[in-house]
Amino acid sequence: MASVSAFHVCVVGLGSMGMGAAKSCVRAGLQTYGIDLNEAARAELKQAGAADVAADAAGFAEKLDAVLLLVVNAAQCKAVLFGDNALAPKLKPGTAVMVSATISAEEARSIEAGLKEHGLLMLDAPVSGGAAKAAAGDMTVMAAGSAETFAKLRPLLDAVAGKVYEIGVEIGLGATVKIIHQLLAGVHIAAGAEAMALAARAGIPLDLMYDVVTNAAGNSWMFENRMKHVVDGDYSPKSAVDIFVKDLGLVTETGRTLKFPLPLASTAYTMFANASNAGYGKLDDSAVIKTFAGIDLPDRSKS
């Protein structure tokens, strides 16, 4: 394997997760490139020490050993790889593509088939941990792919991940594990919002309710993280309502495919869909609480 400093990786999608992952690659000594349509994001990564940044990879694709896709959905993955100004044909055969968007198992297999046509390797590798863990190079990766692909991507995985779960060889297994994880994440946020809404209706100060729960058995990571946004009245998006409309949609679709009932996930999906329909889709996912009527919530924008 080439030395770390000779390993060339491109991160596609410099949002909160992608930016953190790209900066982690820079810190690890990888030759790091970034693709994003946002000029400010490109400038930020360049300032952090990236080898190059651009709106597309035409200028450096042939140098790359690996690509990390941290875009929103399968449609964006396919647009980057196979759409107008497609990246896949520009990569040298044997380049490994780590697909880390939350997508269905079927879409993961479809992307792999497209990559194979260009002699490229794929790791089906969704991630979790949020912006903070991405920035620390401490994401959790749920990955499926061949031993060869894991080996080729080891410098990248070492740079961005605190824990890598090697789930199996079959593409789609990583996507499925992430979908099951998102079932829990979405239900926990929805349940936390319902609990805090009930506290508001009962006249319990929300900061007190938050303190009680986070020091008692009903706590969860999602409650502790997201309901703090409610207490602070701050709905600036860390992960938006519309992300969970998408992800819980994938959860319920997976249940339908397997003919398996998912009553809690279906209810949580409806809550997030209602929040999006009410105009809160671009707000932080904790804004699902805003769909409850008859309660007063903290609002930092009015302070």
Residue 284's identity, in one-letter code, is: D
pLDDT of residue 4: 73
Distance (Å, whole) CA 191 – CA 187? 6
CA distance from start to end of the chain: 56
Q: Is 23 a known active-site residue?
A: no
The residue extents of the domains of the chain are 4-170, 176-302
Taking only the tens of pLDDT, the chain with its 303 residues reads 456 779 999 999 999 899 999 999 999 999 999 999 999 999 999 999 999 999 999 999 999 999 999 999 999 999 999 999 999 999 999 999 999 999 999 999 999 999 999 999 999 999 999 889 999 999 999 999 999 999 999 999 999 999 999 999 999 999 999 999 999 999 999 999 999 999 999 999 999 999 999 999 999 999 999 999 999 999 999 899 999 999 999 999 999 999 999 999 999 999 999 999 999 999 999 999 999 999 999 998 775
pLDDT of residue 303: 58
Which CATH number applies to 4-170? 3.40.50.720
Q: Hey, what are 260's tokens?
A: 């398996």
Query: Does domain 176-302 match CATH 1.10.1040.10?
Result: yes
> For residue 227, which phi and psi values (nearest 5 degrees)?
-75, -15
User: Among 133, 178, 246, 290, which one carries the catalytic annotation?
Assistant: 178
pLDDT of residue 1: 47
Residue 270, classified by CB atoms within 10 Å of its CB into exposed (0-12), middle (13-18) or buried (19+), is: middle
